[in-house]
Amino acid sequence: MKLSKYNYIILGLGNPGTAYAHTRHNAGRSAVQLFAEQNNFSVFGEERRLGALASEGVLGKNQLLLLLPETFMNKSGIALRA
């Protein structure tokens, strides 16, 4: 995945797994998932190199990459750093 092709990268912070699925800890993650659904972005798929689930799409003239880190909230920087 060549990251330079994206105009914007949006990270949905939260915790992976079903235990946190509908909690305030996952507000960012849920917002990004809803944004992806409402704008017909690709289905989230595993991006091992980034340690996150990734979805991509176009909004206006911009190519966007949406990331859902697969680490817990306090380690979200791992996906961002990658």
What is the spatial distance between Cα 50 and Cα 3, in angstroms, rounded to a whole number?
Answer: 11
What is the spatial distance between Cα 29 and Cα 10, in angstroms, rounded to a whole number?
Answer: 10
Which parts of 6-81 fold into alpha helices (H)?
A: 27-38, 77-81
Catalytic residue from among 6, 16, 25, 31: 25
- Is 22 an active-site residue? no
Report, as residue numbers or ranges, the catalytic residues: 25
